[in-house]
């Protein structure tokens, strides 16, 4: 709750809305206690008194009634009716939505068709019809406004409930023997509650307006009782001669509806963290590049060169240094492993290469990424787009998430081929078939017509690799491609990647958290910690004689078969959060060998030849 309020008040407009609304609520709550004249006492002699006249701060209306008093009493009534209508609509509508969504089938059909019938009538007309049937009066206006808003809640909540009702936790609740009511109230309601609150906070404003509208037409509050709508209605005749009688309730309606809507938007954003982190704001096609320092001088070491790459996430005032100056290169036919714990910046490094880090919040703040010597970070979008897939391709961890669920894999492969080459469909299909064969998919011909969900995880990852190979790239960046697979399938996929590398001279950057995998596949390895490379070198040398204490601990975490019962080591503590890195060595707080000088100054990556380590008290000299 405290967190919610903090998020809410970080939004200035929402805070403004909340302040205005609370002030209004407090004033109307204490209105009966204030020394105000009777709102309905007429004094025709004093009619249409201007504002700020003696005894009437806001003046009087056409019957000489005190406008301030009428305004406060009227606001009280309008707010009460609007909020009551919103509550009624929310409760009835949400219940209908929950029941329809949960039971589904015929119950859903019958209920929702009823709701559709309500929705088929124009909104205001329906409210008018209801009031006409029930007779004018504030209570009937309330019923009408609530009734016409029920479908809005019912539809919203039903949609969400349908999605939730099929989820495993509902099955689990059923299996544990809970009845329908307990599932509806205990399991489903808490999950849809935020949506109900959001829907309410954004509709109270309308409902107040609608009630005011009905009163304006004389169908709501009846004279002499004032509400905001009826005040406006009565002032209509004197709009020109005594404008203050209309302006006073008009300004109040404006204040109420504005503050409720600002607050409502704030509540929605605060309850939906995705909106804050920018997930719903459309990311740019290319990561924002904003290099503060000079671009490092070109020095070509491989086909793909990362040179002091820095990528940050700017979230509010915080700066997360996800990648803090990574230099890495890979040559044709070479496989370079990048290894590190979860959160060490491996994926962000990989995505920065082709400008795939979502911006906002991602920004590349330094360094260079060169493909065949050409800097990709300054490149135009068209250049980058051409290089994506054609020169540098990616394989991701979860093929089920990267393959489109509604297209056959053959069609997806054909599309990948035809994005870059104007291949006739027949030829593209033949090529897709070749690709599936190249990644050793049995019965490739019939597999072309499979949907992703019809394949096993291992097969899907093969398709993922085939997609990456579709345009004969020179570099493949594989981001934990085997993490979701079981060990035997993992071995097959690794063997496949290794074959492809040898057959086609591919350069592979292989990201993993598993030293066992690195040992099988990679020529060289770079160990990442907190966004930096802490050790690198040829795989065998690093494995045999790890120099950084972190590398040593990582290797000790790999279980060995047949080596008897050995206590598996783990690394105590957690990786640091990258918005507030400690001075000196980032690993020092978790390192049992850390000394005082480890916690001071910058520690450089130093070494000879291919070996380098970022540690001033290494386990082994390099």
- The region of 344-352, 462-470, 561-569, 587-595 touching Mg ion under the rule CB under 5 A is 344-352
Confirm or reject binding of residue 460 to ligand ADP (CB under 6 A).
no
Between residues 142 and 511, which has the closer beta carbon with respect to Mg ion?
Answer: 511
Under rule CB under 6 A, how many of the chain's residues touch ligand ADP? 14
In the list 39, 97, 229, 361, the residue contacting ligand ADP (rule: CB under 6 A) is 361
56, β-bridge pairs: 53
Q: 3-class SS at 311?
A: strand
- State the minimum distance, in angstroms, from the CB of residue 491 to Mg ion: 21
Burial class (CB in 10 A: 0-12, 13-18, 19+), 42: middle
Q: In terms of Cα–Cα distance, which of 612, 608, 622 is closest to 535?
A: 612
Confirm or reject binding of residue 340 to ligand ADP (CB under 6 A).
yes
- State the minimum distance, in angstroms, from the CB of residue 110 to ligand ADP: 44
In the list 75, 161, 211, 347, the residue contacting Mg ion (rule: CB under 5 A) is 347
- State the minimum distance, in angstroms, from the CB of residue 309 to ligand ADP: 12
Confirm or reject binding of residue 349 to Mg ion (CB under 5 A).
no
Confirm or reject binding of residue 348 to ligand ADP (CB under 6 A).
yes
| Token pair in block for residue 214 | 């009905």
Where does 455-531 show beta strands of DSSP type E? 475-479, 507-512, 524-529
108 contacts: CB under 8 Å, gap ≥ 6: 100, 101, 158
Q: In terms of Cα–Cα distance, which of 250, 152, 249, 253 is closest to 208?
A: 253
Given Mg ion, ligand ADP, none, residue 222, with its beta carbon under 5 to 8 Å by kind, binds none
C-alpha–C-alpha distance, residues 304 and 617, integer Å: 32
Between residues 152 and 396, which has the closer beta carbon with respect to Mg ion?
Answer: 396
Given Mg ion, ligand ADP, none, residue 348, with its beta carbon under 5 to 8 Å by kind, binds ligand ADP
Between residues 348 and 428, which has the closer beta carbon with respect to Mg ion?
Answer: 348
Residues between 294 and 323 that touch ligand ADP (CB under 6 A): 313, 315, 320, 322
Q: In terms of Cα–Cα distance, which of 408, 389, 392 is closest to 467?
A: 389
Q: In terms of Cα–Cα distance, which of 579, 520, 587, 128 is closest to 324?
A: 579
Between residues 159 and 516, which has the closer beta carbon with respect to ligand ADP?
Answer: 516
- State the minimum distance, in angstroms, from the CB of residue 342 to ligand ADP: 4
| Token pair in block for residue 423 | 């291949």
512, β-bridge pairs: 339
- 407-418 burial, b if ≥16 CB within 10 A, otherwise e? ebbbbbbbebbb
Answer whether 613's CB lies under 8 Å from 535's CB.
yes
Confirm or reject binding of residue 337 to ligand ADP (CB under 6 A).
no
Spell out the alpha helix ranges (H) of 121-188: 123-134, 138-165, 168-175, 180-182
Confirm or reject binding of residue 342 to ligand ADP (CB under 6 A).
yes
Answer whether 600's CB lies under 8 Å from 584's CB.
yes
286 contacts: CB under 8 Å, gap ≥ 6: 355, 359, 381, 384
- State the minimum distance, in angstroms, from the CB of residue 348 to ligand ADP: 4
- State the minimum distance, in angstroms, from the CB of residue 319 to ligand ADP: 10
Confirm or reject binding of residue 344 to ligand ADP (CB under 6 A).
yes
- State the minimum distance, in angstroms, from the CB of residue 142 to Mg ion: 54
- The region of 56-64, 118-126, 344-352, 420-428 touching ligand ADP under the rule CB under 6 A is 344-352
- The region of 262-270, 343-351, 497-505, 548-556 touching Mg ion under the rule CB under 5 A is 343-351
Between residues 46 and 480, which has the closer beta carbon with respect to ligand ADP?
Answer: 480
Confirm or reject binding of residue 578 to ligand ADP (CB under 6 A).
yes
Answer whether 392's CB lies under 8 Å from 506's CB.
no
Residues that bind Mg ion (CB under 5 A): 347
Residues that bind ligand ADP (CB under 6 A): 313, 315, 320, 322, 340, 342-348, 361, 578
């Amino acid at each position: 709750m405290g967190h919610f309020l903090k998020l809410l008040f970080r939004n200035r407009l929402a805070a403004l809305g909340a302040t205005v609304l609370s002030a209004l609520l407090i004033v109307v709550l204490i209105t009966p206690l204030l020394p105000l004249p009777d709102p309905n006492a007429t004094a025709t002699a004093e009619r249409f008194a201007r504002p700020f006249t003696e005894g009437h701060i806001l003046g009087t209306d056409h019957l000489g009634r005190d406008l301030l008093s009428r305004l406060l009493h009227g606001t009280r009534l309008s707010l009460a009716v609007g909020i009551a209508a919103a509550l009624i609509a929310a409760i009835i509508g949400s219940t209908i939505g929950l029941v329809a969504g949960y039971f589904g089938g015929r119950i859903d059909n019958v209920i929702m068709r009823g709701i559709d019938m309500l929705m088929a009538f124009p909104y205001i007309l329906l409210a008018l019809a209801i009031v006409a049937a029930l007779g004018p009066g504030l209570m009937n206006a309330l019923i009408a406004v609530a009734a016409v808003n029920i479908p809005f809640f019912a539809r919203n909540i039903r949609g969400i409930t349908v999605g939730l009702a099929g989820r495993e936790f509902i099955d689990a609740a059923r299996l544990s023997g809970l009845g329908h009511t307990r599932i509806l109230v205990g399991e489903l309601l808490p999950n849809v509650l935020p949506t109900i609150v959001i829907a309410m906070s954004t509709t109270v404003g309308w409902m107040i307006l609608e009630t005011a509208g009905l009163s304006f037409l004389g169908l709501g509050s009846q004279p002499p009782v004032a509400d905001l709508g009826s005040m406006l209605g009565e002032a209509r005749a004197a709009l020109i001669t005594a404008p203050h009688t209309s302006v006073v309730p008009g300004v109040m309606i404006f204040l109420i509806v504005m503050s409720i809507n600002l607050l409502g938007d704030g509540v929605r954003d605060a309850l939906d963290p995705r909106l804050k982190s920018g997930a719903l704001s459309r990311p740019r096609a290319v990561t924002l590049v904003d290099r503060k320092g000079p671009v490092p001088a070109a020095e070509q070491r491989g086909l793909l060169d990362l040179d002091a790459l820095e990528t940050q996430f700017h979230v509010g005032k915080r700066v997360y240094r996800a990648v803090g100056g990574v230099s890495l290169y890979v040559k044709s036919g070479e496989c370079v492993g990048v290894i590190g714990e979860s959160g060490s910046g491996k994926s962000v490094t990989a995505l920065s290469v082709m400008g795939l880090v979502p911006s906002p919040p991602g920004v590349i703040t330094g360094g260079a990424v060169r493909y065949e010597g050409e800097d990709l970070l300054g490149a135009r979008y068209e250049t980058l787009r051409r290089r994506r897939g054609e020169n540098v391709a990616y394989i991701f961890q979860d093929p089920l998430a990267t393959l489109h669920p509604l297209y056959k894999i053959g069609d997806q492969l054909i599309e990948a081929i035809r994005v870059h080459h104007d291949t006739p469909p027949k030829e593209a299909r033949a090529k897709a078939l070749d690709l599936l064969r190249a990644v050793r998919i049995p019965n490739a011909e019939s597999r072309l017509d499979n949907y992703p969900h019809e394949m096993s995880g291992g097969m899907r990852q093969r398709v993922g690799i085939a997609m990456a190979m579709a345009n004969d790239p020179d570099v493949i960046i594989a981001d934990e491609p085997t993490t979701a697979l079981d060990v035997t399938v993992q071995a097959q996929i690794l063997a496949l990647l290794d074959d492809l590398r040898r057959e086609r001279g591919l350069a592979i950057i292989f990201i993993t958290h598993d030293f066992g995998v690195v040992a099988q596949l990679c020529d060289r390895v770079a160990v990442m910690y907190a966004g930096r490379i802490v050790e690198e070198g040829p795989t065998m040398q690093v494995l045999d004689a790890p120099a950084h204490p972190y590398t040593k601990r990582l290797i000790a975490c790999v279980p060995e078969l047949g080596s008897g019962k050995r206590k598996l080591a783990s690394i105590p503590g957690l990786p640091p959060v990258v918005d507030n890195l400690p001075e000196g060595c980032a690993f020092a707080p978790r390192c049992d060998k850390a000394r005082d000088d480890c916690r001071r100054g910058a520690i450089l990556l130093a070494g000879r030849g291919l070996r380098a380590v970022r540690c001033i008290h290494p386990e082994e000299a390099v």
